[in-house]
Amino acid sequence: MTNPLQMESKTVLVTGASSGIGQSAAILLSQLGARVILTARNQERLRETLGAMEGEGHRLAPFDLGRVEEIPLWLRQLVQETGPLDGLVCSAGISSLRPLRMVDTAHAEEVMRINYHAAVALASTFCRKEVRRPESSVVLVASVAGLLGVAARSAYSGSKGALIAFARSAAVELAPAGVRINCVAPGYVKTEMHDSAMRELSPEKMEALVRATQPLGLGKPLDVAHAIAFLLSGASRWITGSVLAVDGGYTAQ
């Protein structure tokens, strides 16, 4: 019996691959046989990810996704060197824990630029015939904050909610071309970005928050990486426009 999650002969671009969920997804995809292109701003951190991966043919492609206007040309040039892509994982993002009274236009635009506009630019370029192979898949890393209201997360929630709405419409539009687009919506996951966002909470308060919201406790990056691998693989060939909550039961309450 073949493994439906196997990714041999597949080429996948993973953004945010220098840490957290993106790093875990890149490592897992390499273990499943994929050739992975690693993208983030920090090349040294990308090399650390590469050192933990299995297989050969992986590639570092450092790039600042904040330069949204340059993404289409960058991605087309990258694919000229690597060949067409089978998958795209948009995991790069920034967090925001800020009361609404402190959210100004500049902050909201910064969050949207990285969390939403960069992902849209990547996905819209990915869907071009010369960039991707037939029967390809895009996975956008959203958040439960895009599904439920969370205090002091209005800017972040707005960016992730926009990402989810975009994926649903894009999925309908691109289905005839064989391109699937789905989201994963993680809850609280133990990552550097999560720790930074929650630095104002004591460990005791953080533990109490997780216990009150997630029946299965704090998640690990690999928990989300498994969901990403599933949505990239042929095992999910009949799934598009969906949001898979990987949240320890957060949205069940």
Catalytic site residues? 156
CB 131 within 8 A of CB 75: yes
Scored b (16 or more CB within 10 A) or e, 40-62 reads beeeebbeebbeebeeeebbebe
From residue 157, how far is each of 13, 47, 60, 74, 253 by CA, in Å? 25, 31, 30, 28, 18
Q: Which amino acid is at 60?
A: L
What's the CA gap between 149 and 102, in Å, rounded?
17
| Tokens encoding 152 | 């002091």
- Angle at which helices 221-232 and 20-31 pack, to 10 degrees? 50
